[in-house]
Structure 1
Amino acid sequence: MTLTAPRARIDGPATAEALTPTVREQLRRRRPWIVIAIVLVVGAIALLVIQGGFRAPGPLLGPANAAPAGSKALVEVLRRQGVDVTEASTLDAATDLARGGATVLLFDELGILDADALDELAAASERLVVVEPAFDALRTLAPGVRLGGVASGALDDVACDVRAAERAGELSDGQRLVTVDDEAAAEGWRGCFRDGEAFAVAAGPGPSGAELTIVAATTVFENEHVDEAGNAALAIGLLGASEELAWYLPGPADADAGTAPTLAELTPGWVSPVLVLAVVVTVVAGIWQGRRFGPLVVERLPVQVPAGETSEGRARLYARSSARGHALDQLRIGAVGRIAAVLKLPRSAPAHVVADAAAVATGRDAASVGRLLIGPEPSGDRELVDLAVELDRLEHDVAVSVRPAPAGTTGPGPTGPDTRPGDRPDQTGRRP
């Protein structure tokens, strides 16, 4: 701690200054951390909103998901109409159900299935409904059908002879579109619910001759939109064509680990050289700026260092850096502690209280004792030495003042600065 000059007169009433920071001061000190925490919280909330973190639990188009993006409402309606809906969790399960004559609904949201898996599923299915396929899935299952953007609004131009589409008659807003080129049209593909040159639904033969229907958007099957326009009629017409339905949402178990890209393939080419260079620079900087290798002390431990050498070494450091104020602070702190112990004051007593007690015990002027113990910093080495000598004399006088007087003596004794032990037989030994 640094001792500073007292704010009040040293001979006035001793008052303890409150050192506990207020709430405002604590907030001011921690303002940077508070701002950083607020930025992190706001960023996390924004990230959750962008990624749909507040979406109700359950997968998109999950057959048991009752959230707006789920499909539980459609599944319950199909079951009431006698359709046995089975959730297939793996490709093998979906393939087995397809071979048994079940209609298969495929929604590969993350694009997990590769071309071989899609071909296997299409070959085993008689009726396959693919919802919102990605580019790779369209290229595998329907080479002439391509993504065509988003519909401009509700669609009521059926434009095809698909029975489920004719029964629906209209689709709600929020549909995606696909296009059908001439080669696909020649192979038997036709589009339904026209919007310009694109369609919301496309139907045609699959690679193995299966009846394949592509629905470009999930809107038709979602709980939130299934009751709008003719969405429910189209969904029930496509999925209720047979007595059994396999609801297949591919998961991580269907991913082919052999074809997954490695970390090295995903990392840009410049990352590895930069990492190697960073390691080399870190090692070189550590050797350059670090301490020398080997033990700092050659002698075997424990090494005994006299306390006097430690004090002298610290004094030389203070002298080399001209830290007169810090050196005087250490002298004053030690003097205040020793004077407080001699006068039986608590260790927590403020410096100005110790100064008042020392002035009363020695008979000195309270202001001069206060300037000695809690005064300004010295302006030069000579003044520092003089203050050190005065501190030593003050400690001596305080020690003499509390010593018991010899028997048979009365009256005051000498109180000058040069008084030594035994020169004051008038002291009673009582603490003021």
Structure 2
Amino acid sequence: MTATATPAEAVTPRLRTALRRRRTWIAIVLVLLGGAALLVVLQGTVRAPGAPLAADNAAPVGAQALARVLAAQGVEVEQVRSLDAARDAARDGATVFLHDDLGVLDRDGLRGLAADADLIVVARPDFAALEVLAPGVRLAGLADGAPGAASCELPAAERAGALSDGQRALAVDDDAEAARFTGCFPAGDAFAVVSGTSPQGADVVLVGATTPFANATIDEAGNAALAIGLLGSRDRVAWYLPGPGDADAADAPTLGELMPGWTTPVLVLLVVVTVVAGIWRGRRFGPLVVEDLPVHVPASETGEGRARLYARGSARLRALDQLRIAAIRRLAVALRLPRSADVDAVVAGVANATGRAAADVRALLVDEEPRGDADLVRLARAVDDLERAVHETMLPDPGLDTTDPTGRRP
């Protein structure tokens, strides 16, 4: 009596197995997530939070400290979000504090603001602001060290006395001097602060850098005294930081205007060359011809490949069915059954040849299903043993005299 192996239960693949199969994609996703997190951290570290010199920005680049000091001294600080609001506040007599960090305010907007305002304080003016508000005043780069003493008649500058390092210089040429623009805090041949009257009639104070107003540097030297003196001379300040909404879309250059003149001819030439090259190569190879090529694949490779697929997908019943189908075909040939014989005829023939019960033979060849890998191996071996038993029964009797035509025993 031979011992039979206990059938293994079919189980669903565990989480660890599923993760192991997908470890490549999991690693790619983790790398992408790590890169995105690193990018967010770097952007948060490099990019200053909040708008520069915003009255409600407590970051080092903001100006919340100055706004709170002005409010404590009774000055109403109003943050305006558009050019129209700034012009309305200017017509009401408010001091306009202007810092166009993005450079979106055009010259017409600057002229209209200067025409409505009595006093404009500009922090770090750009080329457009200098051209409109103070013709003849030019940017002169970063000052080398701290600028000198005030040396001017501007009251806020006189009370400040001196400024800290990090100032940007503004040069005053002859035309600006003729228009009575004067400089304070000299830095070589230029100045850290320039004041005068704009062509539109507004009093203008140009501060080359943002250091006198920023939270990080307002407490250095006389920065605070200068900023408070300039913005606290009136009861109200219109704090205006132009944004993208103040840009005039009609003045924005088109794509054709931004492209150099040689771009269009080169693009046309590239298109023509691509089409010509395609036609040339197509004519060279001629028309397409469909040809069936013989492919020889060894049967052993096909069988091994299909077996690996069955094993990977745990398709035990399908694998056993392939073995049964092949065995039934060979059994039909061994039993001399016609090609049209069905499975029941093969089962009956095998039962007659081996003396086994037809129900057992049918269960082995058709009905019984494997419940695990061990059960699959057991059934495959049983099918092989059945096929071997049929072949043995079909061999001639060794005691039979094959030379006697009647087939009688000696």
Question: What is the TM-score with the length of structure 2 in the denominator?
Answer: 0.66
CA distance in 2, matches of 1:107, 1:166: 23
Q: Tell me, in whole angstroms, the C-alpha distance in 2 between the residues paired with 1:31 and 1:275.
A: 45
Tell me which residue corresponds to 1:357.
379
The answer (yes or no) to whether the contact 1:126–1:210 under 8 Å persists in 2 is yes
SS at match of 2:122: strand
Cα 1:23–1:91 change in 2 (3 A) is closer
Deviation at 1:62, TM superposition (A): 1.7
Q: Is the counterpart of residue 222 in structure 1 residue 217 in structure 2? A: no
* Corresponding residue number in structure 2 for 1:161: 153
Shift of 1:347: 5.3
Q: 1:243 to 1:323 in 2, by over 3 A?
A: same
Question: Structure 1: any 5+ residue segments left out of the alignment?
Answer: 1-10, 289-315, 365-396, 399-413, 421-432
SS of equivalent to 1:193: strand
Contact preservation (8 Å) 1:171, 1:231: yes
SS in 2 for 1:416: helix
Please report how far the alpha carbon of residue 149 of structure 1 lies from its aligned counterpart in structure 2 after TM superposition.
Answer: 1.6
Once the two structures are TM-superposed, the CA of residue 107 in structure 1 deviates from its matched residue by 1.1
Worse overlay, 322-331 or 80-89: 322-331
2:333 counterpart residue number: none
* Cα distance in 1 for residues equivalent to 2:296 and 2:191: 84
Q: Cα deviation per residue 1:85-110 (whole Å; 9 max; x = unaligned)?
A: 22222222222222232221111111
Aligned partners of 1:362 and 1:415 also within 8 Å: no
The answer to whether the aligner puts 1:170 opposite 2:162 as a matched pair is yes
**Aligned equivalents of 2:369 and 2:45: distance in 1?**
60
- Alignment equivalent of 1:322, drawn from 274, 280, 297: 297
Q: Aligned to 2:229, what secondary structure does the other structure show? A: helix
Aligned AA (2:111): D
Look up the equivalent residue of 2:248 and give its one-letter code.
D
Q: Residue 196 in 1 paired to residue 180 in 2?
A: no
Letter of the structure 2 residue corresponding to residue 208 of structure 1: Q
Given the superposition, is the C-alpha separation of residues 228 and 26 from structure 1 closer, same or farther in structure 2, using an over 3 Å criterion? same
Match of 1:82 among 67, 74, 80: 74
* Aligned residue type for 1:181: D
For 2:171 and 2:253, locate their aligned partners in 1 and report how far apart those are by CA, in whole Å.
Answer: 31
Are the aligned partners of 1:59 and 1:70 in contact in 2 as well (CA < 8 Å)?
Answer: yes
Matched pairs, number: 326
Distance 1:186 1:249 in 2: 31
- Within the alignment, does 1:111 sit opposite 2:111 as a pair? no
Equivalent residue number for residue 251 of structure 1 = 243
Tell which deviates more after alignment, 191-200 or 210-219.
191-200
- In the TM superposition, residue 131 of structure 1 has moved relative to its aligned partner by 1.0
- Contact 1:172/1:228 (8 A) holds in 2: yes
Amino acid at match of 2:204: L
Q: 1:137 is matched with which residue?
A: 129
Which of 320, 323, 340 lines up with 1:336 in the alignment?
320
CA apart distance, 1:345: 5.3
Percent same amino acid among aligned pairs? 40
Q: Distance in 1 between matches of 2:18 and 2:93?
A: 77
Identify the residue that residue 261 of structure 1 maps to in structure 2.
253
Q: Does 1:184 align with 2:176?
A: yes
- 8 A contact 1:178–1:216 mirrored in 2: yes
Match of 1:152?
Answer: 144
The answer (yes or no) to whether the contact 1:94–1:104 under 8 Å persists in 2 is yes
Kindly indicate which of the two structures has a greater share of residues assigned to helix.
2
Are the counterparts in 1 of residues 320 and 380 from structure 2 also a CA contact under 8 Å?
A: no
Matched residue type, 1:70: G
Is the CA contact 2:181–2:195 (under 8 Å) kept in the aligned structure 1?
A: yes
Code of the aligned partner of 1:320: V
1:273 aligns with 2:267: yes
Partner SS state of residue 378, structure 2: helix
CA RMSD in angstroms, aligned pairs only: 4.0
Q: Distance in 2 between matches of 1:226 and 1:168?
A: 12
Other structure's SS at 1:61 match: coil
* CA displacement at 1:44 relative to structure 2: 5.0
8 Å CA contact retained: 1:339, 1:354:
no
Q: Distance in 2 between matches of 1:14 and 1:71?
A: 79
